[in-house]
Each structure stands twice: as structure tokens, then as C-alpha cells.
Amino acid sequence: MMINLKARKLVHTANVVAAMHLSDSLTRLKFVDEVRQVVMQQFEAARRA
């Protein structure tokens, strides 16, 4: 599905940006986790629609 590909690309981009701009590992992990949570919330909203 196209939405799955876009979601994976978004998480990948979050990882790249975090690696380049966030030096603290815990902050980096939290940022990427927050992006994943947003992606999962959007999947849930799409399923309910």
C-alpha cells in the first residue's frame, strides 16, 4: 500500500534528521518514537474512516 510506504519513508527521514541534529541518544530515540506514534495514530484514523 502507498500509505505504508509513505509511513516507512517518514520514519526513515526522522531517523536521518535525528542522527544529524540530535547528539543526545535518549532525545533522538524519543523523537523517533514520537514520529512512530503519530504514524500509528494516523493508521488508526484511516482504518476507522
State yes or no: pLDDT of 41 exceeds 90.
Answer: yes
Q: Where are the domains of the chain?
A: 2-48
The alpha-helical segments, DSSP class H, found in 1-49 are: 2-21, 25-48
Whether the predicted model's global pTM rises above the 0.85 cut: no
User: How far is it, in rounded angstroms, from Cα 34 to Cα 48?
Assistant: 21
Question: pLDDT tens digits for 4-35?
Answer: 899 999 999 999 999 999 999 999 999 999 99
pLDDT band at 39 (very low <50, low <70, confident <90, very high): very high
